[in-house]
Homo-oligomer: A and B are copies of this chain.
Amino acid sequence: MDQKVDTRSRILNIAEAAVLEKGFEATSIEEIVAGAEISRGGFFYHFKDKNALARAMLERYIDAENALYDDLFARARELNDDPLHCMLIGLKLLAEMLEEMPTGHPGCVIASTAYQDRLFDEGVRDLNRQAILGWRKRFRGMFEEITQVYEPREAVNMDALGDMVSGVVEGGLVLQRALREHNNASEQIMLFRTYLKLLFADKQ
């Protein structure tokens, strides 16, 4: 129970790698079971269909992403107590993290899921939606803290600004994937960081 990873997790690991590399539809159950060294029957024992697999993968991915953000901004907070600088440091850390991934970031499952959503059931779609709404709330909260200290130079909708973090990451990953370049996402985050510096230049 400690030495060998349990089968379900092994399936998820193999599937995640394959799906991030080539997409959900292009990944066959055949190759997943081959990679995990189980039988087709074994796969369907754990997941009633591909939809259930997608759902489990998405849940795991979202949890990991949230844990990453928690960690990143906690570290940033340790370095600087000012909410703006905390945000700026967190974004820098995020950008660095994306750059350090040798093959480039695996690519956000959110976008991939969004564009193939007819393949999935309502549960999967809703999971996706809730994840983005969660990030909106997280970042809007951080931006509201900033506005208590800094006067924004231009009026902006805080929900939209919160969404922009996710949007810039997603958009950057799309570019990176399509262009086959390696640091578009981190560059885009750094540009967004500059935006925040310009927006919150003056203390209240």
Contacts and interface: CB of A to CB of B under 8 A. Distances in A.
Number of copies: 2
A5 interface: no
Interface in A25-76: 25-26
A112 interface: yes
A171 B160 CA distance: 12
A175 B170 contact: yes
Contact of A167 (B23, B113, B184, B194): B184
Contacts of A180: 129
Contacts of A156: 191, 194
A161 interface: yes
Given A111-B174, A154-B194, A23 B119 contact: yes
From A107, A174, A179, residue with most partner B Cβ within 10 Å: A174
Given A26-B119, A116-B26, A116-B116, A175 B163 contact: yes
Interface of A: 21-23, 25-26, 107, 110-119, 125, 128-129, 132-133, 153-154, 156-157, 160-161, 163-164, 166-172, 174-175, 177-180, 184, 187-188, 190-191, 194-195, 197-199
Contact of A198 (B116, B119, B175, B195): B195
Contacts of A132: 175, 178-179
Given A111-B178, A157-B191, 17 more contacts: A23-B118, A23-B119, A107-B115, A110-B174, A114-B178, A115-B177, A129-B179, A132-B178, A154-B194, A154-B198, A160-B188, A163-B187, A164-B191, A167-B184, A170-B170, A171-B172, A195-B199
Contact of A170 (B113, B119, B129, B171): B171
Contact of A116 (B115, B166, B197): B115
